[in-house]
Amino acid sequence: MFYDLNVPVSGNDTLVASQSKKSKGKQPQQQTSTLFTAAQIAVIEARIDLLVHRYNVIAFNQTVHKKLDPKTHVNVLNALLPQLKSRAGVLFLKRLTIVLDEESEKGFGLTSANASAVEPYDLVSLVPTTTATFSLACLTHSLPSPLTAHIISLPLTSPRLPFHLKHTLVRTAIKNGAVFEINYVGALGETSASSSTFGVGDSGPSAKRNWWAAAREVVRVTKGKGIIVSGGVLAESEYRGPKDVQNLICLLGLAQNLAHDASVVTPKSLIIRAQTRKTYRAVFSEPKVVFPQVSTPQNPDSTPKNPDPGQSSEGLPLQSTRTGNHPEVVEDNDHGAKKRPRECDTPNSTTPESGSRGKGPPNHTPSDANRPAKKKKGKHAA
């Protein structure tokens, strides 16, 4: 499963808030009618048809400059997605990107009062263009909250990065769960419209040179971890497959496994983590209390008696025993065959050799007079 988390919606496809002369100085009323024509929908559908051959998750991106103002902001993606054809096995996401500049350093709308305007979006991205905004994006807005910024996208096509990528800021952002985005459209540098990512940076042949220099710096600082690769493409001729993109970013110094993670593993974990923004400080499952079963001791009087003497208390037949005073013993010979059973000797039993030493009944052995004389052996035998 492959991901393209930056499919931009061009500026001509956006909704504009209208303000009449009578309501001058008052809160402007948002225009609820959509401006997406049939021709614009056909262009977007053609771009999606190219992406669905290789990508399974597509995120449509809406860009806002300077700051997010809920009074004038209109969510154009809510009007766009219902007009698109549904495709089996393809997931559409909504992404909001805020471009931060000098005018937005004091505040760019990511406050608790504007949480309702950000809630419909699945992903939130920031594009810092100054040192102050880059520090805020890494330290403050990457923390878990209802307004968490999941993606930090850098203006790689600028002549030079407007801030220094400090290791402490980058490591803190990655530890908090944010990722740094590299849009491969800047590496192509074919058209001026697509080369300038989010409208920030140069366009034309110089944008391609700037992209390679800045992207190498991002890979060096992050060490290949916490990076995702997106498209950011407007022209259909500039789309590339996932394997081509992996080979492209390997030229930046990434290993093959890290290049695979940047387009498969990291985007998947990012989307799963982004869902926690809507369930922040919430219960994910209903806990159930399981009481252990305690075995109570039984009353001896209530123990059922064994009605059948031939069976045990568990209902198993008892082994038959030999009647008499002497138990039966079976001996084995050297070859493993069983001998005739014999009776064990007991202290009370007497043998001919024991004489009258036993405590049992008197010895009934014959007397010495009745015994036959023994024959003598040797020379003097009679």
In this prediction, residue 30 carries a pLDDT of 44
CA distance 361 to 357: 10
Q: What is the largest CA-CA distance in the chain?
A: 163
In sequence order, the β-bridge partners of residue 59 are: 93
With residue 98 as reference, give the H or E element that holds it.
Answer: strand 91-100
Which tokens in the block code for residue 229? 């690769």
In this prediction, residue 15 carries a pLDDT of 43
Q: What are the distances in angstroms from CA 196 to CA 77, 158, 203, 234?
A: 22, 8, 5, 11
The distance of Cα 244 from the centroid of its chain, to the nearest Å, equals 26
Per residue of the chain (382 residues), what is the pLDDT tens digit? Answer: 899 999 998 644 444 433 334 444 444 444 444 567 888 899 999 999 999 888 999 999 999 887 787 788 888 898 898 889 888 889 999 999 988 887 766 666 677 777 888 888 999 999 998 898 899 889 988 888 888 888 999 988 888 888 889 999 999 999 998 999 999 988 876 544 444 455 555 566 788 888 999 999 999 999 989 999 999 888 888 889 999 999 999 999 899 999 999 999 999 999 988 887 776 655 555 556 676 676 666 665 555 555 555 555 555 555 544 444 555 555 555 555 555 555 554 455 444 444 445 455 555 555 555 566 665 555 554 4
Kindly report the CA angle at 122 between 45 and 141, in degrees rounded to 5? 135
Q: What is the 3-state secondary structure (H, E, C) of 231-289?
A: CCCCCHHHCCCHHHHHHHHHCCCCCHHHHHHHHHHHHHHHHHHHHHHCCCCCCCCCCCC
In this prediction, residue 178 carries a pLDDT of 93
In this prediction, residue 230 carries a pLDDT of 93
At residue 373, φ and ψ (nearest 5 deg) are -70, 145
Question: Is 0.75 topped by the overall pTM?
Answer: no
